[in-house]
A = this chain, B = another copy of it.
Amino acid sequence: MIIREGRTFSSVPSLFDHMVEIDTTRLRETFETYSSIGQTDNDGLHRLTLSEEDARVRDQFVSDLEQLGLEVRIDEIGNIFGRREGQSPDAAPVLVGSHLDSQPYGGRFDGQLGVLTALEALRTFEDEEIKHERPIEIVNWTNEEGSRFKPALMGSGTFVGEFSVDKTLAETDADGVTVEEALEAIGYRGDESCEPREEIHSYLELHVEQGPILEDNEVAVGIVDGIYGMAWLEATVHGESDHAGPSPVYSRQDALVAAADVVLNVRRLSSRVADDVVTTVGELEVGPGSINVVPSSAEFTVDVRSYDDDAVAELVSCVENELDAACARENTTYDLEEIWRITHTEFSSVVRESALEAANVLNIPHQQMIGGAGHDASYLNEITDAGMLFVPSVDGKTHNEAEYTEWSDVIGGAKVFTETMRRLAS
């Protein structure tokens, strides 16, 4: 993690007559309402993309947009947009939002907080009759997480043309259900073409940091300079099943032994090649999976990240070397597929400067930083001036039901977000 700048406390004059005051009680109530949809026993969220729980939270979101008088559009892969007109309806709009889907057992803040902060900002603009030049559109991107369907960032990636609509609709989950079938099952296959229908002025997204930096530095808001690049790999080791008793060890071709060898060596590759490299094996499945049978197959994933794209590329070859070595030791073979690669993102200075000014005007402690997690803003950055705000994650925990952000930090982030949005739209 690279910290670009320490805490900044300074004051700059506001552009506007008065400061916009968000309704923090309403924001919290809305957050609680949304958090009850797909809530787990441990106060986390189980809201896999395009699931029944996702359908319910989408219904809530669409209803809230309509109640606010926004023009709602749903595109062919389920991205939901709500438009508030500006004083110049033909001006390029400002896009704001995040995602409402969750990890299998994720927290309440990841994604959802960004959507609801944007919703609260728009509600405040409506209540306070805030004038703004540009239209503002709020968005909920389909399948940010990539837990049910791969790749992650599917909605934004398709929107910017990184993936074709046909490819996206044909992606399947573990049960063989396609994105298209899942969209139709929950009634969110919209009519709109999945692409920008006009030039977009800028994109702004608030998100939890998902790491420990802001908390360690006691800073409420991170203004994000950029995002790590990453690669996702899927490996399958092919061995030979055999009886755990009478088959001698010398003749075994144990797919799990080879895979375990790779798992340990992938961990050792963290911080290699470049200081900031992180590597993770998050999934591993063993076949046939019987206590007294030598495993014949082991499928696993590898996630590699760094701000240095060359380091990511080099790490991918390191993983291949580890597979070669481990499979040679165990007399097994393997397949390795790179299922996703995204280069590092350097966000637009336009959004970053607006956010810095907003944080300074509001006198909220903030810092510039690099993000380690992938975000829809990375793809949006390919077609417009994009930027992000982070709020702290307690203990840096995320993708975990215990994920938490202090409410005072949420409010700080929401204030900077609202002020930044106002500046971008003016």
Contact = CB atoms under 8 A, between A and B. Distances in A.
A425 B29 CA distance: 81
Contacts of A400: 240-242, 293, 296
Given A248-B1, A263-B256, A397-B242, A103 B288 contact: yes
Contacts of A303: 244-245, 291-292
A341 interface: no
Contacts of A288: 103-105
Interface centre among A145, A230, A282, A295 (most CB of B within 10 A): A282
Interface stretch (A64-72, A176-184, A356-364, A371-379): A371-379
B150 A291 contact: yes
Interface stretch (A31-39, A50-58, A164-172, A208-216): A208-216
Contacts of A281: 256-257, 260, 295
Contact of A396 (B152, B247, B263): B247
A104 B290 contact: yes
A384 interface: no
A200 to B, nearest CB: 26
A198 B183 CA distance: 64
Contact of A245 (B103, B294, B372): B372
Contacts of A261: 260, 264
Nearest to A371: B246
Contact of A251 (B230, B244, B256, B396): B396
Contacts of A105: 241, 288
Contact of A152 (B150, B292, B295, B397): B292
A21 B374 CA distance: 73
A146 interface: yes
Q: How many identical subunits does the complex contain? A: 2
A248 B270 CA distance: 10
A334 interface: no
Contacts of A211: 243, 245-248
A246 B388 CA distance: 15
Most B CB atoms within 10 A — which of A246, A398, A400? A246
Interface centre among A147, A230, A245, A254 (most CB of B within 10 A): A245
A27 to B, nearest CB: 24
A98 interface: no
A278 interface: yes
Interface residues of A, number: 68
A50 B389 CA distance: 57
A257 B246 contact: no
Nearest to A293: B399
Contacts of A244: 278, 280, 282, 303, 305, 399
A139 B247 CA distance: 27
Contact of A282 (B291, B398, B399): B291
A232 interface: yes
B284 A256 contact: yes
A313 interface: no
A285 B145 CA distance: 21
B146 A292 contact: yes
Nearest to A104: B288
Nearest to A292: B303
A242 B293 CA distance: 32
Given A209-B246, A242-B399, 8 more contacts: A211-B246, A212-B248, A246-B396, A249-B267, A254-B267, A259-B260, A282-B289, A294-B399
24 contacts: A103-B288, A146-B292, A210-B246, A211-B248, A244-B303, A245-B303, A245-B372, A246-B373, A246-B396, A248-B396, A254-B267, A256-B282, A260-B263, A280-B292, A280-B293, A280-B294, A282-B294, A284-B286, A284-B289, A291-B301, A292-B373, A292-B374, A294-B399, A296-B400
Interface of A: 1, 103-105, 145-147, 150, 152, 209-213, 228, 230, 232, 240-249, 251, 254, 256-257, 259-261, 263-264, 267, 270-271, 278, 280-286, 288-296, 301, 303, 305, 371-374, 396-400
